[in-house]
């Protein structure tokens, strides 16, 4: 009955485990470590997506926006802000460096705050995401970009990068680790950005 109710309410897997424990049952859904042997096909799939996405940047993040994997262009791009595998995208966004590097920071901050709130609600409430959303919302401003998507416009290393992203998730996750796992693939918003990203990727590969 607990599982049927959880299914009807479309609760995240972590919350389903919580309700099972509260009802006196053992958790049903495991939370495997990323390097667990059973996760090998998942790691291979994520690496395939990220590697094939080059020369555009791509990252994989967990439920708290910690970087699990990233391709060479993303290592170069996010490395400029001190973020690599194990690093926190939330910490990067809440740092003093990003607002000064992002040309349209109020728009980006407002959109990120909405996304964080949505993800927190979908996971049953996550304090870390809620706190970050509050801080970003205070810095944000809902201004229409006049475009199909809100890009992130970054000035880095003398270049002006206009980026937008798609987000992929595992549709049949039966593991808590994968339930809120995301692969974020960035694309150039103009020709100048495409040229700059190709150069960034070439430099990252050479390095």
pLDDT digits (tens, 9 = 90+) for 79-105: 989 999 999 999 999 998 899 999 999
Domain carrying residue 2: 1-30
Per-residue pLDDT at 136 exceeds 80: yes
Q: Which of 17-26, 44-53, 164-173 has the lowest mean pLDDT?
A: 17-26
- Please report which helix (H) or strand (E) contains residue 136, including its range: helix 127-139
Residues 146 and 74 in one domain: yes
Give pLDDT tens digits for 6-34. 666 666 666 775 666 777 766 676 788 88
Residues 42 and 13 in one domain: no
Residue 177 CA to residue 167 CA, distance in Å, equals 17
Mean pLDDT of the chain: 87
Residues 106 and 127 in one domain: yes
Under 8 Å between Cβ of 188 and 139: no
Going along 119-158, which residue ranges are E strands? 152-156
Residues 66 and 95 in one domain: yes
Q: Residue 135 sits in a domain of what CATH number?
A: 3.30.450.20
Number of domains in the chain: 2
Residues 1 and 62 in one domain: no
Residues 54 and 147 in one domain: yes
* Per-residue confidence (pLDDT) for residue 134, from 0 to 100: 95
Residues 168 and 200 in one domain: yes
* Per-residue confidence (pLDDT) for residue 160, from 0 to 100: 93
Residues 168 and 193 in one domain: yes
Residues 12 and 42 in one domain: no
Residues 5 and 82 in one domain: no
């Amino acid at each position: 009955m607990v599982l049927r109710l959880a299914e009807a309410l479309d609760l995240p897997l972590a919350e389903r485990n919580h309700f099972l424990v509260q009802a006196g049952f053992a958790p049903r859904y495991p939370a495997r470590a990323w390097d667990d042997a059973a996760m090998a096909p998942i790691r291979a799939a994520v690496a395939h997506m990220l590697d094939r996405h080059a020369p555009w940047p791509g990252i994989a993040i967990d439920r708290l926006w910690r970087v699990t994997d990233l391709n060479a262009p993303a290592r170069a791009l996010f490395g400029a802000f001190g973020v690599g595998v194990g690093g926190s995208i939330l910490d990067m966004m809440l740092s003093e460096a990003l607002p000064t590097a992002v040309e349209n920071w109020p728009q980006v901050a407002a959109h990120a705050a909405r996304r964080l709130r949505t993800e927190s609600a979908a996971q049953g409430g996550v304090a870390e995401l809620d706190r970050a959303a509050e801080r970003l919302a205070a810095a944000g401003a809902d201004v229409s970009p006049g475009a199909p998507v809100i890009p992130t416009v970054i000035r880095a290393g003398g270049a002006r990068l206009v980026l937008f992203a798609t987000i992929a998730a595992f549709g049949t996750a039966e593991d808590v680790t994968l339930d809120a796992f995301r692969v974020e693939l960035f694309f150039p918003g103009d020709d100048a950005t495409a040229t700059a990203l190709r150069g960034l990727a070439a430099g990252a590969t050479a390095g």
